[in-house]
Amino acid sequence: MKGLSLISIHTTLFHSALSFILLLSFCTAGFAQTNNGGNNNGGNNQNGNNNNQNAGGITIDADGVIAAPFRVTQNSSQLNQRRLQALAAEALPADVNRKSEFRKISLVQLEKVCQEYQTKNEPLPPEVLYLAGLTRIDYLFVDHEHNDLIIAGPAEGFAANAQNRVVGVDTGRPPIRLDDLVVALQSQDRGLITGCSFDAKPDNLAKMNEYIRRTNNASSAATAAVRFKTMAQILGMQDVSVTGVPAGSHYARILVEADYMLKRISIGLEPSGIREIKSHLSTLRGGGNSTQRWWFTPLYDAFTTTADRDAFQFAGQRLQMMSQEEFVNSAGQRTDAAQTRVSTTKYAQQFTKNFAKLADLHPTFAELQSITDLTVLAALIHRERLDEQIDWRHSLFSSASSELVPEGNIPKQVPTAMNYKKAGRLMICLVGGGVTINARSVLNQATFQVSRDTSLEEKQSSVIKRDLQQPARWWWD
């Protein structure tokens, strides 16, 4: 997948000995939709899971064109705590609306519950749509005795914030969604790499290069600014592509929205919200002609497992930013450079180092972590054949026509945006981006270490122990 790219071109400004750095941003955004073509699951849901994608994002019209400004939402004092608590208390069962460090969810029973609601032609309740408030997957357990697969992690009550985004009442972190789980399982059933990319058309890149060649002469600051805007017009609409998942799904929206936010932060159009990460534009002081790109890929620490490989512990921050230098030729074609400059690499490293803080602050990045977890989870189940071990066919979740995944308008194009500043002798253009989640590659390259003590086995035993007098539940603390 192509990443975020920067074309650097020397220029001279009349009378000033200064130049403008131009970042032309060609990127998609998180988008809003009104569940066109979606199902009625959650239609009465007060937590907003009718796939309304106007949740801190932008709108996408029927032609797939992103048309409205991106609205960044952050997990911070912006959240009205009392309002969230009141909404959660009204919409959720009391036991769901409670913070837990170790909530368990039976994937087998969850699917049965979904089937029951479908059979009755009733909408799924919010606790099902948002996996009982689970905010992170820390464990996967195999329960051979009851033919079950159980995931576990922290959970809390949840409600829609002022931007209509569903977030946790205590932490502001969005809960994991049922439709994202279903999409992840379907993608890994087929062994797909999931991701998104947005790219300038090669013809337009070639036209921009020609325009730069013809106008790369001394000029005033005002003339340079006009040229920058002209370059954005020449590049025009950027193509948006989503791979491995339904392009109108919430999963796809998060891929696109997260990469869009990355670019907005990088070019200085949106603040990161944390002191450690400034825009890449603000750090540039000079350099030669090149293209730079950044993109997200998974990042996990070693997986802890048992000798029987029937329990797994997830660890690590889930995501990292990668960087690569490129060149763009006169035909608008892009190729990898042999080396990547230090400033590009350092920015990627800084973003990666502080990504956990960004995810705590921005729901979009937190949801990107969640869909990465879900995809790796699905790949792990497939790789270890855990579903076969318990004879779970997940036929409802794996159905291509599943009504559990509502879809809205598909993002297809986004207009070019720009930003620039005075610095040295550079003109820099941002020309693409992407997110790539190759879950099978993650597992192939990951280290699986057997637990050195009995702690993981003890957790597993406590999870699978059940009171035979109680009916089977799909979640519990």
CA distance 477 to 473: 11
Q: Which amino acid is at 135?
A: T
Cα–chain-centroid distance for residue 204?
28
pLDDT tens-place string over residues 345-368? 788 888 899 999 999 999 999 999
- Domain-located, residue 289: yes
Please indicate, yes or no, if residue 443 is contained in any of the structural domains.
yes
With respect to residue 151, please indicate whether it lies within any of the assigned structural domains: no
Q: Please indicate, yes or no, if residue 370 is contained in any of the structural domains.
A: yes
Would you list the DSSP string of 64-78?
A: SBB-S------SSTT
Residue 103 lies in a domain: no
Question: Within a domain: residue 140?
Answer: no
- Percent of the chain clearing pLDDT 70 (strictly above): 73
Residue 200 gets the label, from left (phi > 0), alpha (psi -120 to 50) or beta, of beta
pTM: 0.84
Residue 329: inside a domain: yes
Residue 453 burial (10 A CB sphere; 0-12, 13-18, 19+): exposed
| Structural domain range at position 279 | 6-43+59-79+177-454
The verdict on residue 463 lying in a domain is no
Band of residue 398 on the pLDDT scale cut at 50, 70, 90: very high
Other CB atoms within 10 Å distance of the CB of residue 19: 23
Domain count, the chain: 1
**pLDDT band at residue 202, thresholds of 50, 70 and 90?**
confident
pLDDT over 70 (residue 170): yes
pLDDT confidence of residue 184: 97
